[in-house]
Amino acid sequence: MEKIVLVVEDELLNRKLLRDILTHRGTVVIEAGTGREGVDLANEKKPDLILMDIQLPVMDGMEATRLIKANQTTRHIPIVALTGYAMEGDEKRMREAGCDEYLSKPFRVKELLKMIDSILGLRSIEGTGEKA
């Protein structure tokens, strides 16, 4: 069964990069450009994973995460915070908001894929990126 990943990211190039990486691996990608859209899509589509930028227009990623985790029907969805902010204490605040994992930008693609595979319970064939 195909996995669905919601990418909540306002920067078009970052969204395209994540979409290209994930769709190449057979993942279905849905996208939101604001935190509010992310919350709405999470409620509507119930993705298997959410990649959440923290600095977003309309509603930031931490508030969007809080709303997703407060909702009984979406609280189980793992959320990975992706942020350019890597200040001391940021990871703690993101985890307190409900993020399950944290990755600072710029990230290494292999590191991101390894994290995604671990969260989604997938196993990659080492070095190929192919699913086993």
Count of structural domains within the chain: 1
Task: Yes or no: say if 80 and 99 are a contact pair by the CB < 8 Å rule.
Answer: yes
Residue 126 lies in a domain: no
For position 79, what pLDDT does the model report? 97
The confidence score (pLDDT) of residue 123 equals 52
Q: Give the range of the structural domain holding residue 86, as residue numbers without chain letter.
A: 4-120
Q: What's the chain's length in residues?
A: 132
Flag whether 112 is in a domain. yes
pLDDT given for residue 121 in this prediction: 84
Please give the pLDDT value at position 122: 66
Question: Could you give the CA distance from residue 91 to residue 17 in angstroms, rounded to a whole number?
Answer: 23
pLDDT at site 6: 98
Q: Which residues contact 132 (CB under 8 A, 6 or more apart)?
A: 123, 124, 125
DSSP string, the chain: ---EEEEE-S-HHHHHHHHHHHHHTT-EEEEESSHHHHHHHHHHH--SEEEEESS-SSS-HHHHHHHHHHSTTTTTS-EEEEES---TTHHHHHHHHT-SEEEESS--HHHHHHHHHHHHT--BPTTT--B-
What is the reported pTM?
0.88
* pLDDT under 70: residue ranges of the chain: 85-88, 122-132
Whether omega before 47 lies within 30 degrees of 0, making that bond cis, reads: no
What's the confidence (pLDDT) of residue 107? 86
Q: Any idea what the CATH number is for the domain that residue 53 is in?
A: 3.40.50.2300
**Within a domain: 35:** yes
What pLDDT shows up at residue 95? 84
